[in-house]
Amino acid sequence: MQALMGFRLPTLGSVYILTPKVASLMNQGNIPGAVVPDRLLKMVRDEWTDSARGRAAGIERAARLGAVLKGLGYRGIHIGGVHKRFESVARILDRMKQIENRWPDFLSDFDFSPPGGFHAFPEPATPAVLPHNYGRKPIRMPFLGRLHFRLLELAHTLFFNTDASLAPLYQRLSKWFDVNPSARAILHFAENVGKQVMLDCRQCGDCAIQHLAFQCPESGCPKHIRNGACGGSRNGRCEVYPDRWCIWHQTYLRWAYAGKSNEMIQGCIPPRKWELDRTSSWLNFHLGRDHQGASAEFARFCCSRASCGPPGSGISIGMK
Ligand code: SF4
């Protein structure tokens, strides 16, 4: 995934020695980001009918997972569930040393995917497997969802695309609006009404809908995350409001519907510029003031991977 996104960041894997109690908590979704499927829970419970056998099985599984993670290119592992017993850590590391060359043999130990589930990469997984499977599964969207997506996509193509022939005109107009307080207030009002209806806009002034398949991260995600999902979502549902779909789940479906799911791996989205709160995101975009203006180093780093850039930068923006 990192290679696909153009990143070279050292990554730690997480290895946890499961006991029936912790496995059960994870199985019920009580620990964000941790998933223990029913089959694994049953295996752990069976192993722990005898506690010494359970701990030995847990250590063996941890060593195998550590070996797999190392083989896949992780730079290190974080070992959890050892409960201050360094002896368990030592046993895991010793066992890893014995078996690490055989790591591909253990991949199937950690395959708990449900039948018919989505695989991001073709099986069997190896470090250099390309291409990915994103967007290969046909996605159906209800009529209103399609209409919403297409309308906003069209608006972005016409008005928020620095490659468009009218972009220099929009920039000149924006400069005029910006220095005329009454005109600016009217434009801001019109923007708010339209975006309130279409997006439940919160007036952040630094619009990011083009990164989320034309959905608002401020109103759609309780954590306002612009680089999601957060890890707490489960079966596509929001961690904070389980009655809602996670907006990042919806983002994937919308991009996949449009055949543009590659957008999900285009790189990081620059952070929101809080100083623009409650100002016109339209003007901020055309005048190069928003996150896409890439003034900060981190924003430049993200933008070089997220196909964004300020007006006239030569980097395409808006149409995602
Ligand atoms: S990202 Fe900001 S400007 Fe865009 S719709 Fe959401 S709150 Fe409004």
Nearest CA to ligand 1 atom 3: 207
Check if the beta carbon of residue 153 is closer than 8 Å to that of residue 161. Answer: no
- Asked whether 281 lines ligand 1 (CB < 6 A), one says yes
| Residue 303 in tokens | 């933008």
The 10s digit of each residue's pLDDT in 130-183 is 677 776 667 888 999 999 999 999 999 999 988 888 999 999 999 999 999 999
Q: Which atom of ligand 1 is nearest to the CA of 195?
A: 5
Nearest CA to ligand 1 atom 5: 201
pTM of the model: 0.75
- Helices 86-99, 51-72: axis angle to 10 degrees equals 50
Q: What is 272-313 written as a DSSP string? A: P-GGGTTS-HHHHHHTT-SGGG--SHHHHHHHHHHT---TTS
The 10s digit of each residue's pLDDT in 129-142 is 567 777 666 788 89
